[in-house]
Amino acid sequence: MLLIQTPCGLRWHHGHQDVETQRRAKRHVGPIAHIDVAGLGGIMLFFLMLFMIPAVIRVDSSLRWSVDLPLAAHSKSQPGALKEDAIDVAVSRNGMAFICGERVSYGQIPDQIRDRMQRGSEHKVYLRADSRAKYVDVAAVAQQIRRAGIDKIVIMVESPLPKQPT
């Protein structure tokens, strides 16, 4: 069927087509233009989770322990620092003090340490001082630790990586 312009308006005109051509025209559905993006969405969600979760963990840990430990050529491993009940005191480069990841003022340090010792922590403090922290700040925190009755202060350092043989 064709649509033709006549003096009276538009009219349908039945052309001279054979039956086989008409059947082929009815069966032809054209190209498929539908793309299923559900699989792509699932893969993109997987990659989003894959890259975002470690980033969140990294940011959280950097907020809690924002200290760059000084390097020491001769250091000794301190496995006790990894215990769950270890008393970990940190001094950031701007002089803020943290006990087990929680920010405290210098005056609160002795009470916080005594409280943790009463809960069963060992009588040893692991002091993490940023390599760029002022000596005055680190000495003030060490003095507050001693006021809590602690004589064993372990100053945490980082060992340089061993040189690779070439």
Domain CATH code at residue 87: 3.30.420.270
The two structure tokens encoding residue 87? 């008393």
The predicted pLDDT at position 158 comes to 85
Nearest C-alpha neighbor of 129 from the set 96, 103, 102: 96
The predicted pLDDT at position 67 comes to 80
Longest dimension (CA), the chain: 111
Instruction: Give domain status of residue 18, yes or no.
Output: no
The predicted pLDDT at position 30 comes to 61
The predicted pLDDT at position 106 comes to 93
Instruction: Give domain status of residue 62, yes or no.
Output: no
Residues of the chain short of pLDDT 70, as ranges, are: 1-33, 55-66, 162-166
Instruction: Give domain status of residue 15, yes or no.
Output: no
> Which residue spans within the chain are E strands per DSSP?
2-6, 9-13, 87-91, 97-99, 102-104, 124-129, 152-155
Instruction: Give domain status of residue 66, yes or no.
Output: no
Give the C-alpha separation, 49 to 67, whole Å: 28
The predicted pLDDT at position 61 comes to 46
Number of structural domains, the chain?
1
Domain of 84, in residue numbers: 79-155
The predicted pLDDT at position 38 comes to 80
Instruction: Give domain status of residue 53, yes or no.
Output: no
The predicted pLDDT at position 51 comes to 79
Instruction: Give domain status of residue 7, yes or no.
Output: no
Instruction: Give domain status of residue 148, yes or no.
Output: yes
Instruction: Give domain status of residue 120, yes or no.
Output: yes
Nearest C-alpha neighbor of 99 from the set 87, 110, 107, 111: 87
The predicted pLDDT at position 109 comes to 93
- The answer to whether the CB of 67 falls within 8 A of the CB of 156 is no
Nearest C-alpha neighbor of 155 from the set 111, 63, 90: 90
Q: Which residues of 134-153 are buried (b: 16+ CB within 10 A; e: fewer)?
A: eeebbebbbebbeebebeee
